[in-house]
Structure 1
Amino acid sequence: MGGHGVDGAAARGPVRVVLADDEPLLRRGLRVLLESGDRVRVVAEAADGEQLLSAVARHRPDVVLIDVQMPGVDGLQALRRLRAQPNPPVAAILTTFDLDDYVAAALDLGAQGFLLKDAEPEVLVRAVLDLAAGGAVLDPRITARLLPRLRDAGDGLRASQQLRVLSARERQVLDLLADGSSNGAIAAKLGLTEATVKSYVSTLLAKLGVENRVQAALVAQRVGGESL
């Protein structure tokens, strides 16, 4: 799932973020929102994918927020190249409401979060903190638009079949993971150690045949009320 010491990010201080968007005013606004407290620090900004990749190499951030539509190397290309690197940072996509196709493509490329640019400030900050802690972040408005497309593709039945291979405890972990809970939060709720939760997460990802937490969350959410 990647990340530069994500579980220890909070202990070291603010979560370190690289912000990539080709609109300077939007970047500035997002930076102000994210840095409104002492929990997040934007260590670099990027106007395109090449600048993003350079900034990541230079600053080694905990979390990268990536706009999809950028000139030259766009967000999806940058994400593909980031995910090919050893120990990549946690990557989340910043998008607008109508880019369903981009969301699906980014999901396939291993993005661990999907945030809408018009999200409330506290939602954005909490999302970054959750990502740094190992959580999956998927704006409910994106989920609502994405799930019907996945069901139309026949994935609902396959998701039901996938969930049947999980043990009862793995289903509990998956349900909490699907709510965006980090390993630490899951451990606290289930009375387990964080190391045990990490083991459960690794096992259920392998059983479901998915690469990261956000993909696992979507498998659970495709089934709807049966799993959540």
Structure 2
Amino acid sequence: MRLPDHVPVRLVLADDEALLRRGLKVLLEADGRVEVVAEAADGAGLLEVVRRHHPDVALVDVQMPGVDGLVALRELLTWPDPPALAVLTTFDLDDYVATALDLGAQGFLLKDAEPDALVRAVLDLAAGGAVLDPRITARLLPRLRAVRTRGNPLLDGLSARERQVLALVAHGRPNSAIAAELGLSEATVKSYVSTVLTKLGVENRVQAALVAHQVDAW
């Protein structure tokens, strides 16, 4: 997904803490690039507001009463055209985060992230990027069982250009930004990303980014 620069990203917030939602809404909307179109206090509410508002991005707390965020993520990821989905988490919820990774969430953010970082993450998600708070990366790495802790022969199978693409994916760049940086078309970048995922044996950009971070290739 790529939005015109003047169109704000339409965002849904799902968290059971009303004060947190209100604070995030104020911070995220401050410069006009993000519009919070709806809020939800649990997973059932999230499914309803996504169905009603068709947002570009949803930030989801994984631990909520009733229908939790993981149940909602699992459901949303079966929909034909779901929003970009990122998990809002804290350090003490590793199991929830790991499950969200397995489900295919596109981003992992800590609730105490700096406002500028949150805004940039939402914009990158809307553009098709993957976002990982650096403080949570180390906690996700053990879940990628296909990756060896000493070296990674899978990386040896990547061409020089594919390694460049992976490096930019690992830094959360969407296809449009990768294309601009490498002087390629977005279609070509999309093809490279698909090839990289296949060669690494991973399912999505977040997992590819974790491969790159684990082997400390960049």
Match of 1:200 in 2: 192
Deviation at 1:219, TM superposition (A): 1.3
Retained in 2: the 8 A contact 1:17–1:61? yes
Query: Is residue 83 of structure 1 aligned with residue 83 of structure 2?
Result: no
State the secondary structure of the residue aligned to 1:219. Answer: helix
Query: Is residue 182 of structure 1 aligned with residue 153 of structure 2?
Result: no
Aligned pair in 2 of structure 1 residues 159, 80: CA closer, same or farther (>3 Å)? farther
Map 1:127-142 onto structure 2 (within 5 A): 127-142=121-136
Of stretches 192-201 and 65-74 in structure 1, the one that deviates more from structure 2 is 192-201
Aligned residue identity for 1:23? E
Normalising by structure 1, we get a TM-score of 0.90
Retained in 1: the 8 A contact 2:178–2:189? yes
Greater percentage in helix: 1
Deviation at 1:211, TM superposition (A): 2.0
State the secondary structure of the residue aligned to 2:215. Answer: helix
**Cα distance in 1 for residues equivalent to 2:207 and 2:184:** 23
Retained in 2: the 8 A contact 1:49–1:78? yes
**Cα distance in 2 for residues equivalent to 1:19 and 1:93:** 10
**Cα distance in 1 for residues equivalent to 2:214 and 2:24:** 31
Aligned residue identity for 1:82? L
Q: 1:216 aligns with which of 182, 185, 208?
A: 208
The total of aligned residue pairs comes to 218
**Cα distance in 2 for residues equivalent to 1:191 and 1:121:** 31
Match of 1:27 in 2: 21
Match of 1:94 in 2: 88
**Cα distance in 2 for residues equivalent to 1:43 and 1:77:** 22
Map 1:37-56 onto structure 2 (within 5 A): 37-56=31-50
Query: Is residue 117 of structure 1 aligned with residue 87 of structure 2?
Result: no
Normalising by structure 2, we get a TM-score of 0.94
Retained in 1: the 8 A contact 2:60–2:69? yes
Retained in 1: the 8 A contact 2:179–2:185? yes
In the alignment, structure 2 segments of 5+ residues that lack a partner are: none
Aligned residue identity for 2:9? V
Retained in 2: the 8 A contact 1:159–1:220? no
Percent same amino acid at aligned positions? 71
CA offsets 1:152-210 (integer angstroms, 9 cap, x no match): x5732597132222222111100111011111221122111222111111221222222
